[in-house]
Amino acid sequence: MTIRSIPRATAATMLAAALTLTLTPTASSAPHAPPGPPGPPGPDLPEPPTFTEVEVHDPALVTAGGEHWVFGSHLAAASTTDFVDWEQQANHVTPENPLFDDVTEELADALAWAETDTLWAPDVIELPDGRFAMYYNACRGDSPRSAMGVAIAEQVEGPYVDQGIILRSGHREDEGPSEDGTPYDPTVHPNVVDPAVFYDEDGELWMVYGSYSGGIFVLELDESTGLPEPDQGYGTHLMGGHHSRIEAPDMMYDPDSGHYYLFTTFGGLDSFGGYNVRVARAESPAGPFYDAAGHDMREVAADPDLPIFDDESIEPYGTKLMGNFLFQRELGDPGEGDGVGYVSPGHTTHHLDPETGRMHLIFHSRFPGQGERHQVRVHEMHLTADGWPVVAPHRYAGAEAQKVHRPDVVGDYRLIDHGRAISDEITEAVDITLEQDGRISGEISGRWKLTGQHGAELTVDGQIFTGVFSHQWDATAEDWALTFSVVSSEGVSLWGSQLQPMSDDDALAAVVADLPLHGVDEALSDLDLPEHGTRGTTISWSSSDEAVIGADGQVTRPGPGEEDAHVTVTAEVSLGERQESASFEIMVPARPEPGLVAHYAFDGDLSPASASPSLADGVLTGERIDDLHEDGSAEFTDGVAGEALALDGTSGVRLPDGLIADTDYAVSFWVRPDSVSTYTTTFFGARSDTAWVSLVPDAGPDAGSNTALWSGSQAPYLGDTGTQLPVHEWTHIAVSVSEGEAQVHLDGNLVHSGDGFPEVFTTSDGVFALGVNWWDTPFHGAIDELKVFHGGLDAEEVAELAAR
């Protein structure tokens, strides 16, 4: 079954991602109790949730003293008691990280072997004697050269003390054999990262691990020491090989079914990588593991005759639980924004409550239009009657599983088909109706059933999907909604989220009230004029002056020196035979004369050197663009001309709002990095957290760690310059955008040119900064002679700016 998707920009994905999962001894070895008795008729739901967000990439769970802790890459950690309200406990591999006395010294051997300064996904588990063992790992990232070790602490929060390296990978020819006594072969031997440690049904300790390279392996451990039992080499191979993009293994034992469930993540972790969660099961932790379609997961591997990181060969395998999706908010739907969805969700861990049997899946995710920003998410999980996991569509908000009544199931839903693809496309929901007579109508057709207390069964295209109905918090509508999550015997998952009832008259009124031109007094660029709204409404547009604003929303601004234009735009909203209209008066300002808008020389202060007399000074920030330090003092150093702004990696400078308010503009500045961090920005501008422009010295694996002009929007843009800015040297950067064409010059040389650059600065209140944004590590280095222009720059003008 195929459902329409939103295409997204494609890019090469990351080599190997840090992933890990964990489980406490009690949670993994005790049988889960049956659910409690059903509640009274109708949902008995808690108060609306107040979520606290944390950033732990590649989370791994351990429960200790009534608290749930997750540990992740870059030595991040967070804790919670209810999976709703979280507290960040640690982050970054620095001497100040509280999990170690000084992790840079304590784990120096692992960092040295891996030739890196950071750590990937760890796992923490409680040993039988009450101590906590952290399975840490470090990796180069561009190869499977990795080291894994164990550190022990008396308390879950540390401090952890190193017990030494237990596994290595990526051995070079002059370094001797690998762990199994043979020369290291990355197509068959594992990358020793992403550990997940667990107890089996007999209380024996195991570790599953691996990422890309030779695949996923499992080892037996000594539960008294936490170290591997001798003479196992790398252990038993479970799946993957030939650099197939499979990682982040997590093992859950279910005592009721007697199955071991192996969760893995396929694809690449970045926002363009198509990360998606899959599961297989076995009767032994050493396998063999099979998916719902009966595939032997030992056979999953990339085709060695195809290019590296071949995804096509592994797509058919594994029961897919979730991938990229968007429960989009249609015009007229309750709430605000574009809806709720995930990009590259993965690296799962889980919690199985030994008293109630309730299961939760915990993972990190990125989000539509928000680049590499990531947060922890928790979703409730259930087993079907056939013993396969299904994941609830919305994040966990504290609601208990309850009896569902058939009349409540009837209604309109948004449906996500997760399919089987490994893709950077975001699957958008389609509308269906579960009819009173058991039919499914709308974008798909079929039959539905309510079974037992809250079991769900859908028949679509001859396939039977089973799972559960449950009440969940719809963050867009800000209300509780009935949902379903089902999976087929072929390993395809469907999610549904019920829409609030709405009459035709209410739908018309809601769409008219939600038209995007409300509050729009002026248009600087093309307008978004939607043609459809909620519940099948259609919208047609007309304009009093189509030469200025077309019926398709295209805006043609008067030229420099001409008068501003005033246009009436009218919307006709229809549903069946009903119709309503609304008109909007919009001013279209003439284009400004090309030329200099702002110049910041940074000669000892943050004031503008020229341009508009009303232009404000820059303001020092902390680590984020909104963390303003009005009374802070900026630092300066020797610059290209006079002094330059010096940023130490913990702060930035906020520039005046509205600095650019046009589709054609240029930015010129000098930069001298003291160090280069992935995704760190030098110049940043944004209309919102989903529409932004950033010049990043290291754009990550998508661009081979090259410097790039990056824009996040519904149509992301990654302009690779083909090189990375040198450290400790001054480089001149010029970015020019004109009529949708973007150019980047380094030291006067054109290094990138591309069409289709998104129109980001379409309002007069955009935010701008140097060295910081809302998400990433601040820039460490110097910036000088910032100049901003109306209109683009030609090669001669760029060469003049780059001259020293």
Predicted confidence at residue 380, as pLDDT, reads 97
Question: What one-character-per-residue DSSP string does 81-112 give?
Answer: SSSSSEEEEE-SSSTT-TTSS-HHHHTHHHHH
> With the CA atoms of 149, 151, 152 and 155 taken in that order, what torsion angle do they form, in degrees rounded to the nearest 10?
-130
Confidence of residue 716 (pLDDT cuts 50, 70, 90): confident
Residue 29 has pLDDT above 50, yes or no: no
Full-model pTM:
0.82
The 10 Å CB-count burial string (b at 16+, else e) for 375-395 is bbbbbbbbbbeeebbbbbbbb
> And the tokens for 481?
């909604």
Tens of pLDDT, residues 522-570 = 998 889 999 999 999 999 999 999 999 999 999 999 998 899 999 999 9
For residues 263 and 247, what is the distance between their CA atoms, to the nearest angstrom? 9
DSSP 112-126: HHHT-SS----EEEE
Which residue's structure tokens are 């504290």?
398
Distances (CA, A) of 185 to 114, 145, 157, 401, 803: 17, 11, 37, 48, 50
Q: Which pair of tokens denotes residue 419?
A: 């399919």
Between 148 and 43, whose confidence is greater? 148
Q: 389-391 and 411-417: which strand pairing?
A: unpaired
Distance of alpha carbon 251 from alpha carbon 350, whole angstroms: 9
Name the band, by pLDDT with cuts 50, 70 and 90, for residue 713. low
31-56: average pLDDT: 65
pLDDT digits (tens, 9 = 90+) for 224-245: 999 999 999 999 999 999 999 9
List, for residues 420-446, the tens digit of each pLDDT value. 999 999 999 999 999 999 999 999 999
- Tell me whether residue 247 is one of the annotated catalytic residues: yes
**What confidence score (pLDDT) does residue 633 get?**
86
- Looking at residue 372, its pLDDT comes to 82
DSSP run (H or E) holding 409: helix 406-409
Residue with tokens 């702004």: 645
pLDDT confidence of residue 389: 98
Active site residue 58: yes
CA dihedral 207, 211, 214, 218 (to 10 degrees): 10
Looking at residue 53, its pLDDT comes to 95
Pair of tokens at residue 402: 């309850």
Q: What is the DSSP letter of 500?
A: P
- Residue pair 343/426 in contact (Cβ under 8 Å)? The answer is yes
Q: Does residue 151 surpass a pLDDT of 80?
A: yes
Instruction: Tell me the pLDDT tens digit for each residue of 734-786.
Output: 999 998 999 999 999 999 999 999 989 988 889 999 999 998 889 999 999 99
What is the rounded average pLDDT of the residues 24-34?
A: 29
C-alpha 133/C-alpha 77 separation (Å) is 15
Taken in order 547, 551, 554, 557, the sign of the CA dihedral is positive
Whether residue 717 contacts residue 9, with contact meaning beta carbons closer than 8 Å, is answered with: yes
How confident is the prediction for the chain on average, in pLDDT? 91
Per the CB < 8 A criterion, the answer to whether 318 and 491 are in contact is yes
Q: Which of 247, 270, 412, 784 is catalytic?
A: 247
d(CA 279, CA 557): 54
Radius of gyration of the chain (CA): 28
pLDDT of residue 613: 60
Q: What is the pLDDT of residue 712?
A: 80
pLDDT at 566: 97
- pLDDT for 40 beyond 90: no
| pLDDT-wise least confident of 14-23, 206-215, 266-275, 647-656 | 14-23
187 pLDDT tier (thresholds 50, 70, 90): very high
Burial 677-706 (b: 16+ CB within 10 A, else e): bbbbbbbbbbbebbbbbbbbbbbbbbbbbb
Q: What is the pLDDT of residue 2?
A: 34
Q: Which of 241, 257, 256, 225 is nearest to 300 (CA)?
A: 241
Average confidence (pLDDT) over 135-161: 97
pLDDT higher for 290 or 663?
A: 290
DSSP 802: H
Work out the pLDDT band at 43, boundaries 50, 70, 90: low
- Please, which pLDDT band fits residue 371 given cuts at 50, 70 and 90? confident
- Residue 332's pLDDT band (boundaries 50, 70, 90)? very high
701 — pLDDT class (breaks 50, 70, 90): low
For residues 256 and 358, give the distance between their C-alpha atoms in angstroms, rounded to a whole number. 13
- Give the pLDDT band of residue 490 (cuts 50, 70, 90): very high
User: What is residue 715's predicted lDDT score, i.e. its pLDDT?
Assistant: 67
Asked if pLDDT for residue 200 goes beyond 50, the answer is: yes
Query: With contact defined as beta carbons under 8 Å apart, do 558 and 565 qualify?
Result: yes
- Check whether 577 has a pLDDT greater than 70: yes
Who's near 115: CB < 8 A, 6+ residues apart?
140, 145
Q: How many whole angstroms separate alpha carbon 125 and alpha carbon 136?
A: 12
- pLDDT: which is higher, 540 or 373: 540
Share of the chain above pLDDT 90, in %: 84
Separation of alpha carbons 215 and 249, rounded Å = 10
